[in-house]
Homo-oligomer: A and B are copies of this chain.
Amino acid sequence: MKSLSDCSVTVIGLGLMGASLCMDLKRRNLCREVRGVTRSISTILRSFEENAVDLATTDLGSGVAGADIVILSTPVRAVVSILERLGPMLWPGTVVMDMGSTKAEICAAMEGLPPRIQPIGGHPMTGKETAGYAAAESGLYEQAPWVLTPLARTRQETVSLATELVRAVGAFPVVIEPVRHDRLVAAISHLPYMVASALVHTVADGAAADSTVWELAAGGFRDTSRVAASDTQMFLDILMTNRGAVLAQLDSLDGHLNELRTLLADGDEESLREKLACSQSVRAAWQQKKALPATQAGS
């Protein structure tokens, strides 16, 4: 069975996620060879200079030629589009992973790869609101959950190799089905993004009348709105490939916001206290559990 150290790994897309992965693989000497595929000439130069890759190219075909593992790290719909033309470029047994934030559409596209290719979906649950190569860093995946979504055709040795890679960069693997993944991340990632965007718009409306609001905005606004600064194209792809689940979460949130609004408008202090105390204790308990070592929090 192939081990990571024997593998030539090609990462397609050298943004925050892809370039951070390259840096870990290359600088920690985790595999035989690290290649990057990017559209940007300056990123090619920079990734060389910074010892993030052994080889980088703008040409997809030469980038993936002879690779043992190909990892797609572009916005979701670009992953789908690359999967449609990737098959003929790969040799038999190549493992094709991705790092996209929704899994159902990507895994459906992976079904279209030739039978000799071994696909497996993936999604590291970490990130920053800053995008691109410039934001990349070694160690980004330490202690992060990294979802793996094997297809029916995915062999156990492929799952093992993907798991080895995930663990090698310090993350912990969580194996679940693509549709279930998409439903879960709609709640904990896509909904917070929509909420953050709406919050920024609301404060911006107020700032049009009184711009002092920006001076006073402190930690509460900063954290609650942080993900609104995320890359728009990345999130547009996520939202458009997970519409049903995101809409359902928006409706659920709307119900809770309306309930809070009504309690406040009615001055129903006891019910308001109860509802706020409930979210307080749930959020505090989650934080406490998260503070445990990743091996205990993982599945």
Binds B, one of A35-43, A54-62, A275-283: A275-283
**A291 CB → nearest B CB, Å:** 11
CB contact list, A207-255 vs B, under 8 A = 210, 212-233, 235-236, 239-240, 243, 246-247, 249-250, 252-254
Task: State in angstroms the CA–CA spacing of A253 and B252 once bound together.
Answer: 15
Q: Which residues in B have their C-beta under 8 angstroms from that of A273?
A: 232-233, 236
When chains A and B are docked, how far (Å) is the Cα of A299 from the Cα of B217? 13
Instruction: Tell me, yes or no, whether A180 is within 8 Å of chain B by CB.
Output: yes
Q: Could you tell me the distance between the alpha carbons of A231 and B276 in the complex, rounded to whole angstroms?
A: 9
Out of B128, B180, B215, B280, which one reaches A299, CB within 8 Å? Answer: B215
Interchain CA distance A215-B249 in the complex, whole Å: 18
A15 at the interface (CB under 8 A from B): no
Chain A 110-144 near chain B by CB (<8 Å), digits 1 or 0: 00000000000000011111000000000000001
Do A249 and B283 form a contact, CB below 8 Å, given A213-B187, A218-B189, A220-B189?
A: no
Q: Which residue of B lies closest to A280 (CB)?
A: B232
Q: Across the interface, which residues of B come within 8 angstroms of A267, CB to CB?
A: 240, 243
Taking CB atoms, residues of chain B closer than 8 Å to A197 are: 256, 260, 275-276, 279-280
- Other A-B pairs beyond A222-B290, A236-B269, A247-B265, 19, CB < 8 Å: A184-B213, A188-B203, A191-B202, A192-B220, A194-B261, A196-B283, A197-B275, A201-B275, A201-B279, A223-B224, A223-B227, A225-B283, A231-B280, A232-B276, A236-B273, A239-B264, A240-B269, A243-B267, A253-B257
A297 to B217, CA, bound (A): 11
Q: In the complex, are the beta carbons of B236 and A261 less than 8 A apart?
A: no
Total copies of this chain within the assembly = 2
Cβ contact of A256, chosen from B201, B227, B286, cutoff 8 A: B201
Query: Do residues B220 and A227 form an inter-chain contact, with CB atoms below 8 A?
Result: yes
Contact A199 B194 (CB under 8 A): no
Given contacts A187-B206, A257-B250, A257-B254, contact A279 B228 (CB under 8 A): yes
Picked from B145, B199, B287, the residue with its CB within 8 Å of the CB of A216 is B145
Contact across chains for B126 and A221 when beta carbons are under 8 A apart: no
Residues of B with C-beta under 8 A to A239: 264, 272
| Nearest CB in chain B to that of A284: its residue | B229
How many angstroms from the CA of A15 to the CA of B264 in the assembled complex?
26
Give 9 A-B contacts (CB < 8 Å), ordered by A residue.
Answer: A126-B218, A187-B206, A187-B213, A189-B220, A189-B221, A197-B279, A204-B279, A229-B284, A247-B264
**Bound complex: CA A57 to CA B210 (Å):** 42
Q: Which B-chain residue is minimally distant from A127 (CB atoms)?
A: B219
Which chain B residues lie closer than 8 Å to A219 at the CB level?
126-128
The 8 Å CB contact of A212, one of B221, B230, B299, is B299
